[in-house]
Amino acid sequence: MIANKEYCPYCNADLQGEMIPQESQKAYGARHFTRKIGITSIDIDRITKWRCPDCKMEWEGN
Ligand SMILES: [Zn+2]
Protein backbone atom coordinates (compact mmCIF):
# COMPACT_ATOMS: atom_id res chain seq x y z
CA MET A 1 0.00 0.00 0.00
CA ILE A 2 1.29 3.43 -0.92
CA ALA A 3 1.59 6.02 1.81
CA ASN A 4 -0.60 8.85 0.63
CA LYS A 5 1.10 11.88 2.10
CA GLU A 6 -0.94 15.04 1.87
CA TYR A 7 -0.05 18.61 2.59
CA CYS A 8 -2.07 21.80 2.79
CA PRO A 9 -1.60 23.78 -0.45
CA TYR A 10 -1.54 27.00 1.56
CA CYS A 11 0.47 26.48 4.74
CA ASN A 12 2.03 23.12 3.81
CA ALA A 13 0.82 21.51 7.03
CA ASP A 14 0.99 17.74 7.13
CA LEU A 15 -2.61 16.58 6.70
CA GLN A 16 -1.93 12.93 7.51
CA GLY A 17 -3.83 11.98 10.62
CA GLU A 18 -3.85 9.05 13.00
CA MET A 19 -3.03 5.56 11.83
CA ILE A 20 -6.18 3.62 10.95
CA PRO A 21 -6.44 0.31 12.87
CA GLN A 22 -5.19 -2.57 10.70
CA GLU A 23 -8.60 -4.27 10.51
CA SER A 24 -10.27 -1.09 9.22
CA GLN A 25 -7.62 -0.08 6.69
CA LYS A 26 -9.25 -2.09 3.92
CA ALA A 27 -12.63 -0.44 4.45
CA TYR A 28 -11.09 3.01 4.30
CA GLY A 29 -8.66 2.15 1.50
CA ALA A 30 -5.99 4.03 3.39
CA ARG A 31 -3.56 3.59 6.23
CA HIS A 32 -4.08 6.93 7.89
CA PHE A 33 -6.99 9.18 8.66
CA THR A 34 -6.79 12.63 7.20
CA ARG A 35 -6.81 15.89 9.15
CA LYS A 36 -8.40 17.94 6.39
CA ILE A 37 -12.05 18.85 6.90
CA GLY A 38 -14.56 17.98 4.20
CA ILE A 39 -17.03 20.72 3.29
CA THR A 40 -20.27 19.42 1.80
CA SER A 41 -22.36 21.45 -0.58
CA ILE A 42 -26.06 21.54 0.37
CA ASP A 43 -27.06 21.29 -3.30
CA ILE A 44 -24.93 18.36 -4.37
CA ASP A 45 -24.66 16.42 -1.07
CA ARG A 46 -21.04 15.51 -1.53
CA ILE A 47 -17.72 16.93 -0.46
CA THR A 48 -16.78 19.76 -2.79
CA LYS A 49 -14.17 21.52 -0.73
CA TRP A 50 -11.56 20.77 1.88
CA ARG A 51 -10.48 22.96 4.77
CA CYS A 52 -7.13 22.93 6.47
CA PRO A 53 -7.46 22.52 10.26
CA ASP A 54 -4.41 24.72 10.80
CA CYS A 55 -4.77 27.80 8.56
CA LYS A 56 -8.55 27.37 7.86
CA MET A 57 -8.01 27.95 4.15
CA GLU A 58 -10.31 26.08 1.74
CA TRP A 59 -9.62 24.50 -1.61
CA GLU A 60 -11.51 22.57 -4.26
CA GLY A 61 -11.23 18.84 -3.85
CA ASN A 62 -12.43 15.53 -5.11
ZN1 LIG B 1 -3.13 25.05 5.91
Distance 4 CA to ligand 1 centre (A): 17
Distance 25 CA to ligand 1 centre (A): 26
**Statement: the pTM of the whole predicted model exceeds 0.85:** no
Distance 12 CA to ligand 1 centre (A): 6
State pLDDT tens for residues 8-60: 999 999 999 999 999 999 998 999 999 999 998 888 888 889 999 999 999 99
- Residues 6 or more apart from 18 whose CB is under 8 A from it? 32, 33
